[in-house]
Structure 1
Amino acid sequence: MKKTSDALTPLMQQFWDIKAKYPGMILFFRLGDFYEMFGDDAIKASAALEVVLTQRAGTPMCGVPYHAVNSYIRKLINKGFKAAICEQLEEAGASKGIVKRGVTRVITPGTVLEDTLLESKENNFLMSVIFDETNLTAAFAAADISTGDFFTAQTNIGQIEAEIAKYNPGEIIFSLANIQNKKISAFISKLKKPISEVNDNYFNLDNSKSIIEEVFKTQALKSFGLNQKETIAACGAVLEYIKETQPQSLSIFSQIKVLRNSDFMYLDGVAIKNLELLDSMSTGKSENSLLDVLDSTKTPMGARTIRQWLIKPLLDITKIKNRQTIVSFFIDNAQVRKDLIEKFKSISDIERITARISSGSASPRDITALKDSLIVANEIAAIIKSANALNIDIPENANIIKKISDFIVNEPPAALKDGNVIKNGVHAELDELRKLSTDTKTYISDLEAKERESSGINNLKIGYTSVFGYYIEITKANISLAPKHYIRKQTLTNCERYITEELKTLEEKILSAQEKTLRLESDIFNTLRQDLSLFTPDILKTSQIIAELDIFCGFASNALEYNYCKPEITDDKDLAIEEGRHPVVERILKQGEFVANDISFNQTSRVLILTGPNMSGKSTYLRQTALIAVMAQTGSFVPAKSAKIGLIDRIFTRIGAGDNLAGGESTFMVEMTETANILNQYTDRSLIILDEVGRGTSTYDGMSIAWAIIEYIADASKNANKGSKILFATHYFELTELADKLEGIKNFSVDVKEWNDDVVFLHKIKEGSADKSYGIHVAKIAGLPHEVIQKAYKILTKLEANPVEPGKHSGKDGQIDLFSSVKPQILVELEKLEPDNLSPIEAFNILRQWKEKYK
C-alpha cells in the first residue's frame, strides 16, 4: 500500500523507509504521545485491537496512546502478530528537519521479554521443528529468552505433536522446505500456534554448528551431548532467529539440555488434556487441574518449574527418591519449612530479571530487586545449612550483592531517565554535576535578588518553562522600569518576559549539568548492568535451586494438610494403591466426602474391566490412578493410604467423545485414531486408560471393536502385554465374559444400592461386574421430563423381556428395531406346539434344533 515517494510527506517517507526493513511486522511509529500505524498495518491492527481506523492523506491510520502501548502489544502478540517499536530518538526541535526515529525493539510471540507481556507462571518458548521423512524422525528445540531455559530432543514424527503440546510454545519456526511439503503443511495447520517461516539456511547444519559455538564460546556440541544432526539444526535455527529479532538476549543462555526418551515418562497431548494436568477441560483454565492443587509455590520460578515437572515425570528411580527424601525432610522439619516459605514470599522473579540484565533492558528497580532477592537467597542458604541434613549448595553471590549495593541507591526511580539512580561517592564528576544541579535554586534566587535591587522592581520574578527556558517576568505596571539590556522574549496579558545574557549563560550551565548528569548516570548504570551479566550462570543456578526448594516445601505442605503418603517406587511392573483418592475431586468435595478406592495390577491382574452406571465414579477412578502415578514419579507424595508403583514409562488415555470438525473427523474417527495411536505405541511398562471405547458407532460394531481390543491387549504372547496395565471402562456388559476366557483380566464395578424405587451411587469399586446400567435413573437426575422417564422404563421392560438378537431382528435399514411389536420367532414356534402330543424324543429333537438355530 506504499505510495510513490513523490506523493509522500517527509514524515510518511520516513515511516515507509523504516517499515521496509521490518516486513511481516506491525510497525508502532511514535508520534508525540501516540504510536501510529499506517497502511496495511493499520487495517490489521485496528481490527485486532478494536480501535478506530481513520485516514491520513488517503492512507489508513490508527493509533494507541504511548502510556498504554504494552496492553495493546500484548493483544497483538496473543493473536500471533509481530511488532516493531519505532521510537523518537531525539527531542522535537533538537535538529533541523524531521525528528530522527528508529526501531528500538522487535517483539514476536516467542521472543517476549517485558514482564507486562508475559504470564509469570508460564514459560514462553520459541520452538523450532525439523522433520526427516526418510527416517520418520523429527527434532525440536525450545528456548525461553525470558528465563534462559533451552531444551532439545529427537523423537519420531508421530510424537512431535505431543512435544509441542507439552511446551505450549508462543511461536514455532519451520523451514520453507518443510512448510512447502503437503503432509507437513497439513500437520502445521492443525497446531493453532503462531508459525514463522524461515529460510532453509536457518536449519543448515554447518551454520547451526557455527552459531552454537559462537553463543556458548566452548566446544558446545561435545559438552552438551549434541551429536544428532537434526537436534543441532533445530538448536541452530532457534539461535539464528533470536539473533535476528533479539540479538542482545543470546547471552542469557548458558547451556542446552538434551532430553532423552529414557529420562521422562511419555505423556502425549491427549493424556495431558484428558488427565487435566495443566488445565481443566471444562474451563480451559488451570483452576481444578492437577497443577492447581499441587502448585503451592510462592515464587514465579517455582511455579514455572512445577509446570515442567508435571508434564515430564521422571523415569530415574534414584532421582525420584532424592526428591522424596527432600520432601520427607520438610515434612519432618516443620519450622524449617515455614521459615523458608516466608522467605520465598520476598523473592522476585530472579530468572526474568537476569534475562533483562543480559539483554540490556533491566531497569534500576530490577537491579535492586535482584540484590534484595539474592540477600534472601543467602538467608535461605543459612537456614538450610543450619538444618545440617540437606546437601544443597546455593551460590553465595556476595560479589553481585556488594556491587549493586555500592552503586545503586536503595529505592531507585522506575526509569533511568528519571535520574538519582547512582549513589553519591561512586563517581567524582557525577557528584560535582549533581552539586551544580542541587545548587540551581540558590543561583536563581541570588540572581533574582540582584535584578530586583538593580532594577528597583520589587515583584520581579525569575521562572522556567520547558519551551522558553528561564525568564525574568515583569508586570505590565513596571514595564517602563525594565533595564535596557533586558531582551523581550514573550508577551502575556498581565506581564512581559525577558532574558539577559547572564541568565542565558546560567541556564546553559544548569541544563548542561542536568544533561551531563543523566548521561553519566546512564553510562555508569549500563556498565554495571554489563558487569552483572557476567554472573548469569551463578544467578540462574541460584534461581533454579530456590525454585525447587519452593516446590518441595509445597509438596510437604500438601502431604501434611491432605494426608498424602510416600509412594514406594520400584523397578518391577506391578502397581498397588490402597485407598487412593482423586487429588482434585477430593479438594472440591467437603472433607471426608470422597470415597477412596483400591487398585492392583500384577501378573494375574493386568486388564481391569470396569462396569457401572454413569455418574457413579468410573471416570474419576480411571483418572485418579493415572494422576497418582504422575504425582509419584514427579517426586510428590500421593493421596492414598499406601502406594507401590512399578515405574511407568508412558500413560495413554482415551476418554470422552469429541468431534474434530475442522479436520473433517467424526467423534468415532477421533476415538479410533486415538485408540490406534495407543495400540501402536504402548510398552510393557505403560498404563492405559480406555473409557467407553466403541460407543461412537453402532452397538454391535462398537462392542465388537471393544472386544477385539481387549483380546489384543490381553494376549500374553505379545511382549508389551507382559507388564502393561489397562483400565477399561465400558457399558458393554457382554465384555465381562472375557474374564472367564482370558488370563490376566479381572472384572470390577461401581457399587450401587437400590432403595425405595431410588438408586444410591456408593462410588465404591468392588470385584465383579455390574448387573444394571441405571441409565434411566441418571436421565431422571439430569431432569428429563417425567413422561419421558416413565416411557423409557416401559421400553426397557419390553426390551428386557424380549432381547433382540444381533443380525436376526432388525428394521429395514439393518438397524435394531427397538420398538417393534413383532414377537420373537421362538415364541411364535412355542405357541404352535402341543406338548401333550409330543413324544420325549420329538421334544428332545425340537430343543436340539432351537439350540442350533438360536445359539
Structure 2
Amino acid sequence: MEKQKLTPMLEQYLRFKEENPGCLLFFRMGDFFELFFEDAQTVARAVQITLTSRNPKDDNPIPMCGVPHHAVEPYLTQLLDKGYRIAICDQIEDPKEAKGLVKRAVTRVLTPGTVVEDSNLKSKENNYLGVMFWDSDRNAGGVAWVDFSTGQWSGLHSRREPELWQWIVKIGPRELLLPQGRKVPPQYAELEAQVTGVPPASYFDPAMAARRIAEVQGTASLDSLDLGDKPELVRACGALLTYLEHTQKCPLTHLGEFRPLNLGKHLLLDEVTERNLEIFRRLDGRPGKGTLWRVLDRTMTPMGGRLLEARLRQPWRDIVPIEKTQDCVVFLHDRDQLRADLRQALDGVHDLERLSTRVVLGRATPRDFVALRQSLPMLPKVRALLAGLDLDTAPDVKRLLLKWDDMEDLAGLLESSFVDSPPPLITDGGLFRKGFDPRLDELIELNEHGEDKLRTLHQQELDASSIPKLKLGYNKVFGYYFEVSKAYKGQVPDHFIRRQTLVGSERYITPALKEMEERIISASDERKALEHSLFLTLREQVASARSRFLFMADAVAALDYWQGLAEAARINEWHRPELHDGLDIDIEAGRHPVVEDAMGRATYIPNDLRMDRDKRILLITGPNMAGKSTVLRQVAIFVIMAQIGSFVPARRARLGLADRVFSRVGASDNLAQGHSTFMVEMTETARILRQATQRSLVILDEIGRGTSTYDGLSLAWAVVEELATRARGGIRTLFATHYHELTGLEGKIEGLRNLNIAVKEWKGDIVFLRRLVPGPADRSYGIEVAKLAGVPKPVVDRAREILANLEEKSQDTRSRGAVERASQKLLPGFALVPPCPQETCGDAACPAPGAPVPEHPVITRLTALDVDGMTPIEALMLLNQWKGMIKQ
C-alpha cells in the first residue's frame, strides 16, 4: 500500500518506525499496544498471539496484532529474551482533550541491557550493559559496564586487547556495544551477549565523552574519577552514557559514582578458571546445583546475593579486608539464635536498590511502593537485634550500626499512603488510604457512597416539604431529578426547578441535587486525577531519598553476606582458615564443597595436602575416576573461598594468599572457532605460562593428552620444568597426569613431589580409596576402569592380552643397553639406534658390536641448551624441530 493512501495514524506510526530502526514499535492506541506491517508478523510469530489485519476487505490488508497495555510486560519479556529491541510509543496527551490525532512519542527503547523491571531480571544477578573500545593507533583500550537497574558502573583500562575481551566474557554482559564494523573475535564466540553496533563518530567522540561523564557525575575534572589518564576508558564510558540517553529518554541521575576496577586489590580469576572450577555454572553451561555459588548462597535478600556474586568474581587479595569479613562471619556463626532472627528479618527486605531506581526513573508501580513499605519496617528490627551486643570482635558490624538509618520517616509516609493491595497501574485509581488527603477522602466517599448521599438529600427534601410520594429518579437525558405527582395540588418549594412535564407528573431539579449529581458523576475521574497527582508528589519525596536507600541497601547486603557465609559454614561444618602472606598451603581433612553437597558428607573421604618450598609442585597420578581432578579443584576453591572471607570445608587450613588462580582442567573441541581439543588445551596452557607469578596458584589436569603420546609427554615435561623454574623458585602447582614417566622427575626437579590417589585391587577389580598418599601410582588401571564403566567382557579380556604383549615388548626394548643409556637423559622416543647385533653385517652405516654409539644431534643441542633464557613458545618450537630431527 502506498504511503499517501495511509491514514494519518498509520503515517504517524511509520514516522516513529523510521526514527527507531531495528526496533519493534509498540504503538499505544487506547487500551492496547498495536503493531503493524512486518512488526506485527514478527511479534505474532515470536509470542504466539493472533495476527489480524487493519483492513481485511482491502486488496492489500495491513497485518496487525496487539496486546492490552496493562498486560504487556510478559510479552516484552519474551521478546527481550529472544534478542529483540522494543520502542515504546505512548500517548503523551489525554485522548479526551486531543484535537485531531493524539500526540504520541517514543518514551523509551527497551533493550536486554537496559531493563529495570523485575520480570526481566534475576534478583540475585547483575544485568550488565557493556561497551568495548580499542584504539589500535595507541594500542590501548577500555571496557565499561553498568547495571542500569541498580546504577552501579565500573570499567577497566588496558594495553592488552585480549585482557579486555577476557573481562567481557567474565562479566557476562547481557548486551554489548561495539563500534559499527567491529565483531567479537572468534576465540570469544561463547559470549552470550546481544551485540549492538553503534556509530563510532557520535558515540566514541573523546570531547563529548568527557563532557557527558562530567555532567552525570557532577564533577569538573575526570581525575577525581581516576579517568584523567585513561582516554580509551573515557570514550567507552561516553558511549555507554550516550546509548542510555538515546534509549531511556530520561536524565541519568540514578547512576552512582564511577569506580574503575583496580586489579591490584583483587584475586584475579579469568573466565576459563571460573568455568573450569564451576563457580557459577557447571561445565555443561547450566547454573544451579553443582556450582560453588549454589553451595555458598545462603543470602536472604537480592542485594546480599549480588554482593556474593561480586565477591566470587573478584575476591580480595589483601589480608586486611579478608580478616575483617572473617571476624563478622565468626560473630554470627557462633550465635545461632541471633542468626536465625536476622535471617527472618532480612527475608522481609525487598530489593531496595532496584525499587529505588525505578522510583527515580519514574517507572515505579504502586506495588513497588508497597514493597518498599513492607521492607522499611524490617530495618529497625534488624538494628534492634544487634543493639546492645558486644561487637568488639566484629568491628565492621559495629561501624555499620553507628551509621544505620531506620528510615522511619519514609516508612511512616508509605504506611499512611497506599492501600494494602493497590492496582497495578496508577491510572486505575484506588491507590491511597482514607485519611491520607482530605480532598481525596471526599471524592472516595462520593465515589463509593454516592447513592447514600442522594438518598440522604432525598430524605432531607421529604422532611422539609409536605409533598407526599416525592420520588428520586434518573435518566440519561436529564440526570437525577425529583418527581412530583400531578395529584399533589400544593405548592412545590421555591428552589425546585421544573425540567420535564409528563402526563401524570412533573420532574424537578434543585441546585443541591444538581451539584450532587455533578460531584458523583465527576468524582471517579477527579479521584483518579487527584490520586495521580498525589502519586507523583509522593514519588518525588521518595526519589529524593535515593542516597539513603542506596546506603541501607549496601548495609543490608553486607550484613546478609556475612550471615549467609556464617549459615553455610554452620550447616556444612566448615572452619575458619588461617591466612598468611607466605606461599605455604596446609590443609587437614579437606573436602570439595560442591562434590560433598552432591554425594553427602557421610560418603565423602577427606584428604590432607601440604605445599611448601620443598613441595612447590605436586605431581598427582592415579587412575581415572579415582579423584585427581577433585583434589585439584578443591585446593583452588579453598583459596577462592578463603579470600572472600568464607570458612572452608576442612578440619584445619592454613593458606598463603594468592594473586591469581589458574585452572586448566579438561578440554573439548571448539570447531566453530576452528580449534581442536589440543589447540584449546595449549591456548589455556600458554596463558598460564605467560601470566602466572610467584603468588599464583596453578592447577593443571592432563596436559598433552590431545596429541600423540611422545608429543604430549614432551610438552607436559617441558611445562613442569618451566613452572619449576619460573618466578625465582617455582610457581605453586598441582599437576594431575597419566604420564607415569613424569614421576621420575622427583629428585631431579627441586620442589617437585609425587602424590597419588590410592586404589586397591580386589579379585580382579579395583576399589577407589579416594585417599591422597605420597609417591607415584604404580599404573593407570585403565582397563579396570573400562570394566567398571560397563565395557563388554570380550573387549576387556582382549585389551588385557594386548597390554600384556605390549608390556613384554616394551620390556625387551628397555633391556637394550643403548636405550637404557639414552633413557637416562631423554624422554621416551629419543633413543638412538643400538649397535647391530649381527657380527658380519656388511653395512658401513651400521655400528659394529662394541663400537661407541655416536651422539645424536638432539643430545648435542640439549646439552648446550640455555633453559632459563627460553620462553614457553620457544621451547615448544624447539621440541617440534627435535621431533623432525628424530624422524629423520
Structure 2 CA distance, aligned partners of 1:370 and 1:33? 29
After TM superposition, give the deviation of residue 574 of structure 1 in Å: 2.0
> Where does 1:429-444 land on structure 2 (aligned, <5 Å)?
429-444=439-454
Letter aligned with residue 166 of structure 1: K
Map 1:84-233 to 2 at 5 A. Answer: 84-88=87-91, 95=98, 97-155=100-158, 156-176=160-180, 179-180=181-182, 191-200=191-200, 201-219=202-220, 221-227=222-228, 228-233=230-235
| Equivalent residues in 2 for 1:508-657, closer than 5 Å | 508-657=518-667
**CA distance in 2 between partners of 1:151 and 1:499 (Å):** 73
The correspondence for 1:298, drawn from 300, 312, 317, is 300
> What is the aligned partner in structure 2 of residue 19 from structure 1?
17
Alignment check: 8 A CA contact 1:249 1:355 kept: no
Distance in 2 separating the partners of 1:53 and 1:153: 47
Q: Using the TM superposition, give the Cα deviation of residue 169 of structure 1 relative to its aligned residue in structure 2, in angstroms.
A: 1.1
1:38 pairs with one of 36, 39, 60: 36
Conserved 8 A contact 1:28-1:35 = yes
Question: For residues 398 and 355 of structure 1, do their structure 2 counterparts lie closer, same or farther at Cα, with a shift above 3 Å needed?
Answer: same
SS in 2 for 1:801: helix
> 1:36-86 CA deviation, whole Å, 9 max, x = no partner?
322332344344334555554444444445454222211221222211123
Question: Is this contact kept in 1: 2:151–2:254, CA < 8 A?
Answer: yes
What's the secondary structure of 1:346's corresponding residue?
coil
Q: Which residue of 2 aligns with 1:782?
A: 789
**1:263-662 pair list within 5 angstroms:** 263-282=265-284, 284-389=286-391, 390-391=397-398, 392-393=400-401, 394-409=404-419, 412-445=422-455, 462=474, 508-662=518-672
% identity of equivalent residues? 39
Per-residue CA deviation, residues 402-456 of structure 1 (Å, 9 max, x unaligned), is: 4334544455444322324344444443344334434421345468999999999
Task: Decide which moves more: 525-534 or 244-253.
Answer: 244-253
Is the deviation greater in 135-144 or in 794-803? 135-144
Asked whether the equivalents of residues 748 and 767 of structure 1 are also in contact (C-alpha less than 8 Å), the reply is yes
Specify whether residues 89 and 213 from structure 1 end up closer, same or farther in structure 2 by C-alpha distance, changes over 3 A only: closer
Q: Distance in 2 between matches of 1:586 and 1:279?
A: 17
- The size of the alignment, in residue pairs, is 798
Rounded to whole Å, the distance in 2 between the matches of 1:686 and 1:577 is: 17
Residue identity opposite 1:802 in structure 2: K
Q: Quick check: 397-406 or 650-659, which moved more?
A: 397-406
Q: Is the 8 A contact 2:266 2:316 kept in 1?
A: yes
The Cα offsets for residues 139-162 of structure 1, whole Å up to 9 and x where unpaired, read as 222111211221222233222233
Letter in 2 for 1:678: I
| Partner Cα separation in structure 1 for residue 67 and residue 444 of structure 2 | 37
Per-residue CA deviations over 1:548-586 (Å, capped at 9, x if unaligned) read 211211211221221211111111122221221101001
Q: Secondary structure at 2:116's aligned position in 1?
A: coil
Match of 1:669 among 653, 657, 679: 679
Residues of 2 paired with 1:327 and 1:371: CA distance? 29
Q: State the match for 1:753 in structure 2.
A: 760
Residues 220 and 185 of structure 1: is their aligned pair in 2 closer, same or farther, counting only changes over 3 Å? same
One-letter identity of the residue aligned with 1:77: L
Q: Structure 1: which amino acid aligns with 2:136?
A: E
Once structures 1 and 2 are overlaid, which stretch shifts more, 218-227 or 150-159? Answer: 218-227
Equivalent residue number for residue 743 of structure 1? 750
> Counterpart amino acid of 2:382?
I
Contact kept? 1:444, 1:462, Cα under 8 Å: no
Query: CA distance change for structure 1 residues 634 and 739 in 2, over 3 Å: closer, same or farther?
Result: same
CA pair 472-113 structure 1, distance change in 2 beyond 3 A: farther
3-state secondary structure, aligned to 1:690: strand
Which amino acid letter does the alignment assign opposite residue 319 of structure 2? Answer: I
1:644 Cα deviation after fit? 1.3
Rate the CA distance shift 1:48–1:159 in 2: closer, same or farther, 3 A.
farther
Structure 1 residue 505 displacement after superposition? 7.2
- Given that 1:321 and 1:635 are in contact with CA atoms closer than 8 Å, whether structure 2 keeps it comes out as yes
Q: 1:494-539, CA deviations, whole angstroms, 9 ceiling, x for partnerless residues?
A: xxxx999999876543333322222222122212211222221221
| Structure 1 residues 614 and 91: CA distance shift in structure 2, 3 A | same
Q: 1:589 to 1:249 in 2, by over 3 A?
A: farther
Distance of 1:250 and 1:186 partners within structure 2: 34
2:696 paired residue number? 686
| One-letter amino acid matched to 2:175 | E
Q: What's the offset of the Cα at 1:132?
A: 3.0
Work out the CA distance in 1 between the residues paired with 2:438 and 2:644.
55
Q: Whole-Å Cα distance in 2 between the matches of residues 61 and 323 of structure 1?
A: 58
- Aligned-residue Cα RMSD (Å) equals 3.7
2: CA distance, partners of 1:533 / 1:376: 20
Q: CA deviation at 1:743?
A: 0.8
1:292 Cα offset (Å): 0.1
- Residue of structure 1 in register with 2:264 after alignment: 262
Query: Could you say which residue in structure 2 is the equivalent of 1:798?
Result: 805
Does the 8 Å CA contact 1:751/1:762 hold for their aligned counterparts?
yes
With over 3 angstroms needed to count, the CA separation of the structure-2 counterparts of 1:77 and 1:727, relative to structure 1, is same
Match of 1:734 in 2: 741
Separation (CA, whole Å) in 1 of partners of 2:501 and 2:177: 64
TM-score by length of 2: 0.82
1:599-651, Cα deviation, whole Å (9 max, x unpaired): 22222211111111111101111111111110000110001111111111111
Residues 366 and 431, structure 2, Cα contact 8 Å, conserved in 1: yes
Between 1:638-647 and 1:5-14, the stretch displaced more is: 5-14
Which residue of structure 1 lines up, in the alignment, with residue 3 of structure 2? Answer: 5
Paired residues of 2:128 and 2:145 also in contact (CA < 8 A): yes
Aligned equivalent of 1:764: 771
Conserved 8 A contact 2:297-2:568: no
Q: CA deviation at 1:168?
A: 1.6
DSSP-derived class of the 2:669 partner:
coil
The offset of 1:713, in angstroms, is: 1.2
Contact 1:145–1:250 (CA<8 Å) still a contact in 2? no
1:395 CA displacement? 2.3
Separation (CA, whole Å) in 1 of partners of 2:8 and 2:500: 39
Q: Normalized against structure 1, the TM-score is what?
A: 0.85
Contact 2:835 / 2:851 at 8 angstroms: preserved in 1?
A: no
Q: Secondary structure at the match of 1:254?
A: coil
Residue deviations 1:775-816, cap 9 Å, x none?
122222222222222211211111111129999x9xxxxxxx
Match of 1:493 in 2: none
| 1:463–1:473 CA contact under 8 A, matched in 2 | no
- Deviations, residues 98-156 of structure 1 (Å, cap 9, x unaligned): 55544343211111011111111111111122213345433222111211221222233
Larger displacement relative to structure 2 (781-790 or 219-228): 219-228
Local SS of the residue matching 1:36: strand
Structure 2 gap ranges (5+): 55-59, 392-396, 484-496, 817-830, 840-847, 860-888
